[in-house]
Amino acid sequence: MNCISSKKFVDAYLDGELEAGMMLEIETHLESCEECAGVLCLKRDMKTELAKRGNAAAPEHLRRQIEMISSGSPRVWWQRPVVAAPVAAAAAFMLLMWSHSTPQTTLPKDEVALLVQDVVDRHVRELPMEIQNANQNTAASWFQGKIDFPVRPLGTGIRNATFQGARVSNVRENQAAQMVYRVDGKKVTFMVFPANQLAIQGGDLLTVRGKQILTGRRNGYNVALAKDGDMIYAVSSDLPIKRLVSLLVNRK
């Protein structure tokens, strides 16, 4: 999130019209940008002042021109700048919102949803761990020869986190390494599996410290996914989504 994007969506942010991922992304930017935070305050004050003044009726000529457009009536050239520009702007904004909310992946949207659901299912099920009483680096080495890709754990850069165990699992048709942690006293399931040309784009997409993270929620649990090379790293828990995002961002 940069200043240009933040200012573009500030009105929708104030009205609570954005998806949760976009709201979080803007909030994160506002915490570190005084200029955009000032724009937000100014916009909020303007909306408050307008609300005090009540609703104003639209000019009669504007109402007639809108009715002409909706009915398909022809417009003369001098009418176009009055109405066509706002309509074009609204259409462009809707197109932008559509492109943001539609995942641009090599998988259909419902398949992406199923992938997120699989991650949550692995988190909810209390399956026995195949390796316990070890540290996460030992567990990562244990996967060698059992799955077809190297496993990188969350690492030691995560505060208030303890490793619980690991097992071989799957996400959709892919082999997966499943590692379980306790973070801030809550269970966190960490999944590693091949990306198979899946592009992490669209949906509730955040960009934090240069990393793109897709967020979602299923059955009361939050999910965050990030692509790193040919692999997908996913975490699921009932921890706040900000905390899950931080786990992926700070993974070493």
Write out pLDDT tens, residues 121-178.
999 998 899 998 888 999 999 999 999 999 989 887 778 889 999 999 998 888 999 9
Phi, psi dihedrals of residue 70, rounded to the nearest 5°: -65, -25
Number of other CB atoms surrounding residue 186 within 10 Å: 13
For the ranges 70-74, 90-94, 197-201, 243-247, the maximum mean pLDDT occurs at 243-247
Residue 77 is given by DSSP the state G
More confident call, 179 vs 213:
179
The burial class, CB within 10 Å (0-12 / 13-18 / 19+), for 252 is exposed
pLDDT at 40 over 60: yes
Mean predicted confidence (pLDDT) in 212-240: 90
Rounded mean pLDDT of the chain? Answer: 76
User: pLDDT band at 11, cuts 50/70/90?
Assistant: confident
Q: In what order do the strands lie in the sheet with 221-228?
A: 161-171, 174-183, 186-194, 231-237, 221-228, 211-218, 204-208
The pLDDT score that the predictor gives to residue 66 is 64
Of the given ranges (6-10, 107-111, 156-160), which has the lowest mean pLDDT? 107-111
Give the number of C-alpha atoms closer than 13 A to the C-alpha of residue 170, restricted to the C-beta side: 4
Three-class secondary structure of residue 180 per DSSP: strand
Q: What is the pTM of this model?
A: 0.56
